């Protein structure tokens, strides 16, 4: 069934294409009542901080997306919780593993100017106070004509407009978590010396597209282990399932470090997890993504992206430290006549995303 979400749900800007600059920050929270209270206060201040910084340079198109990991949600916000939020699943053998790394919160800040990203990141991190500890920070940049650091156009298959909204946002046929999304992140480091030693023809076979013109290889030429052959996921009717990729290149030339920060947004994490399983395990097993011979995933995390109204509501939620069961949430949470949960005008999330 086609997603029928509407803009009235006020989702975070998960359906937007990458911009010229981005900062990705993953952090953890101290497990204390004071820390949990700070995080909930931060949720109330979040939108105002973005408006204050963005107002200084509207042409910079400043955006931010915030998401929370499974453990943090349980500790800080309690029940109800997003149905499909769980710890990041690791895939693959030791030599090409999709690893899980610590992450309670994700900040994806983007703009047409890096100074806006830096300014907003400074305020958002400071607002967490002593609750926050950095786990990873990556500064991404636009590389020529939207190419990855390995030279191929990235984001070719991204949906746009209403299709992007439908691919990324839990629809309004669902309840409490309507307007929310899921994000999976992975930081990849590339062996640029090994990659650049390959012929252009071999690089194209590994990616599944031509390097200059960005045209997909025909089925007779493209190997079954090509990157884009393994990352196309279809539903039960054979229709391709879209996700929104916000990938950005990054690099530290003085350290010889070059990579791609993968971030995928979707209304369910399942399609992205199937992509990762195909890439790292193989489809069938052993027929893995040969790009992984030159790219190593060094981080991995799954986050739930609440809608803007839900994010404001989370500021009033007690944590598990302060509530023994769901009855503690009655001021913000009610049960409708059909048995579903609702927060204000929002209703609880279905099991089928």
Per-residue pLDDT of the chain (353 residues; tens, 9 = 90+): 345 455 468 999 999 999 999 999 999 999 999 999 999 999 999 999 999 999 999 999 999 999 999 999 999 999 899 999 999 999 999 999 999 999 999 999 999 999 999 999 999 999 999 999 999 999 999 988 889 999 999 888 899 999 999 999 999 766 789 999 999 999 999 999 999 999 999 999 999 999 999 999 998 999 999 999 999 999 989 899 999 999 999 999 999 999 999 999 999 999 999 999 999 999 999 999 999 999 999 999 999 999 999 999 998 876 544 544 434 443 343 333 333 333 333 333 433 33
Give the C-alpha separation, 182 to 184, whole Å: 7
Write 312-316 long-range contacts (CB < 8 A, 24+). 312/43, 312/44, 312/47, 313/343, 313/344, 314/40, 314/43, 314/77, 315/40, 315/41, 315/43, 315/44, 316/40
Determine the pLDDT at residue 8. 62
Determine the pLDDT at residue 318. 65
- b/e burial code for range 3-20 (CB count within 10 A of at least 16 → b): bebeeebebbbbbbebbb
Question: Phi, psi at residue 111, to the nearest 5°?
Answer: -165, 175
Q: Of 131, 168, 141, which is closest to residue 24 (Cα–Cα)?
A: 141
Question: Phi, psi at residue 222, to the nearest 5°?
Answer: -75, 125
Q: Which residues pair with 42 in a beta bridge?
A: none
State the CATH class of domain 7-191+241-270+300-347. Answer: alpha beta
Determine the pLDDT at residue 1. 37
Give the C-alpha separation, 106 to 54, whole Å: 20
Determine the pLDDT at residue 156. 83
Determine the pLDDT at residue 176. 85
Determine the pLDDT at residue 329. 40
Q: Of 197, 160, 135, which is closest to residue 15 (Cα–Cα)?
A: 160
Say if CB 29 and CB 72 are below 8 A apart.
yes
Give the C-alpha separation, 217 to 238, whole Å: 20
Please name the residues in contact with 190: beta carbons below 8 A apart, sequence gap of 6 or more.
Answer: 149, 150, 258, 259, 260, 294, 295, 296
Say if CB 278 and CB 231 are below 8 A apart.
yes
Determine the pLDDT at residue 342. 37
What are the residue numbers of the active site? 154
Q: Is the pTM of this model over 0.75?
A: yes
- Would you say the C-alpha torsion 13, 17, 21, 26 has a positive or negative sign? positive
């Amino acid at each position: 069934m086609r997603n029928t979400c509407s803009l009235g749900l006020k989702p975070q800007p998960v359906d937007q294409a990458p911009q010229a600059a981005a900062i990705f920050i993953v952090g953890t929270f101290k497990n204390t009542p004071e820390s949990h209270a700070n995080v909930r206060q931060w949720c109330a201040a979040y939108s105002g901080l973005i408006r204050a910084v963005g107002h200084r340079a509207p042409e910079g198109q400043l955006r931010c997306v915030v998401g929370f990991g499974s453990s943090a949600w349980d500790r800080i916000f309690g029940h109800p919780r997003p149905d499909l939020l769980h710890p990041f699943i690791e895939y693959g053998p030791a030599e090409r593993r999709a690893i899980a790394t610590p992450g309670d919160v994700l900040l994806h800040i983007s703009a047409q100017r890096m100074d806006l990203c830096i300014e907003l990141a400074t305020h958002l991190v400071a607002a967490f106070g002593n609750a926050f500890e950095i786990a990873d920070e990556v500064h991404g940049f636009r590389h020529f004509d939207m190419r990855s650091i390995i030279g191929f156009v990235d984001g070719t298959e991204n949906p746009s407009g209403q299709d992007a909204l439908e691919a990324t946002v839990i629809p309004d046929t669902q309840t409490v978590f309507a307007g929310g999304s899921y994000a999976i992140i992975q930081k990849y480091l590339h062996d640029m010396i090994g990659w650049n030693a390959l012929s252009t023809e071999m690089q194209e076979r590994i990616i599944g597209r031509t390097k200059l013109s960005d045209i997909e290889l025909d089925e007779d030429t493209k190997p079954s282990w090509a990157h884009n052959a393994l990352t196309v996921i279809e539903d039960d009717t054979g229709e391709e399932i879209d996700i929104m990729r916000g990938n950005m290149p990054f690099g530290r030339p003085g350290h010889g470090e070059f990579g791609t920060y993968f971030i995928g947004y979707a209304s369910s994490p399942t399609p992205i997890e199937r992509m990762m399983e195909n890439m790292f395990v193989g489809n069938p097993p052993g027929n893995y993504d040969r790009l992984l011979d030159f790219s190593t995933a060094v981080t991995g995390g799954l986050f739930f992206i609440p809608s803007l109204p839900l994010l404001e509501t989370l500021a009033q939620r007690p944590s598990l430290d302060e509530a023994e069961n769901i009855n503690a949430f009655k001021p913000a949470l009610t049960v409708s006549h059909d048995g579903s949960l609702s927060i204000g005008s929002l209703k609880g999330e279905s099991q089928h995303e």
